[in-house]
Amino acid sequence: MKSESGILLRQLGQDSRGIKVERFTGNMLDNPRGFSTPHRHEYYSCFLLDKGRVDILVDFKEIIIKSNTLILSYPGQVNQVVASTTVSGWFLSFDSKLVEEAVRNTLEQSLSEVITLALNPKEVSWFKQIIGLMLDLGDVEHEVTYNDQVQHSLLIAFISQATLTYQRREHNYMIQYSSRNISITKEFRQQLRRRYKSLKKPSEYADLLNLSVSYLNDTVKEVTGFPLSYFIQQEIIREAQRLLYYSELSVKEIAISLGYQDFKYFNRFFRKATDTTPGTFRKNSSQLKDV
- What is the band of 4 on the pLDDT scale with cuts at 50, 70, 90? very low
**Residue 259 predicted with pLDDT over 60:** yes
**Residue 289 predicted with pLDDT over 60:** no
Q: Compute φ and ψ for 246, nearest 5 degrees.
A: -105, -15
Domains in the chain, CATH or no CATH each: 9-174 (2.60.120.280), 179-290 (1.10.10.60)
Strands 61-66 and 69-73 come out as unpaired
The Cα 291–Cα 289 span in angstroms is: 6
pTM for the whole thing? Answer: 0.74
Please give, one letter per residue, the 3-state secondary structure of the chain: CECCCCCEEECCCHHHCCEEEEEEEEEHHHCCCCCCCCEEECCEEEEEEEECEEEEEECCEEEEEECCEEEEECCCCEEEEEEECEEEEEEEEECHHHCCHHHHHHHHCCCCCCEEEECCHHHHHHHHHHHHHHHHHHHCCCCHHHHHHHHHHHHHHHHHHHHHHHHHHHHHHHCCCCHHHHHHHHHHHHHHHHHCCCCCCHHHHHHHCCCCHHHHHHHHHHHHCCCHHHHHHHHHHHHHHHHHHHCCCCHHHHHHHCCCCCHHHHHHHHHHHHCCCHHHHHHHHHHHHHC
Q: Tell me the one-letter amino acid at 128.
A: K
Q: What is the pLDDT of residue 201?
A: 95
| Per-residue pLDDT reduced to its tens digit, 80-134 | 899 999 999 999 999 988 888 888 888 887 777 788 999 999 999 999 999 999 9
Q: What is the pLDDT of residue 246?
A: 84
**Residue 48 predicted with pLDDT over 90:** yes
Q: What is the pLDDT of residue 136?
A: 86
**Residue 135 predicted with pLDDT over 70:** yes
- Cβ 127 vs Cβ 158: under 8 Å: yes
The Cα 191–Cα 198 span in angstroms is: 11
Q: Which of 6-10, 172-176, 229-233 has the lowest mean pLDDT?
A: 6-10
> Which residues lie below 8 Å from residue 266, measured CB to CB, with a gap of 6+?
251, 254, 255, 258, 260, 278
Q: What is the pLDDT of residue 13?
A: 62
| Per-residue pLDDT reduced to its tens digit, 208-257 | 999 999 999 999 999 889 999 999 999 999 999 989 988 889 999 999 99
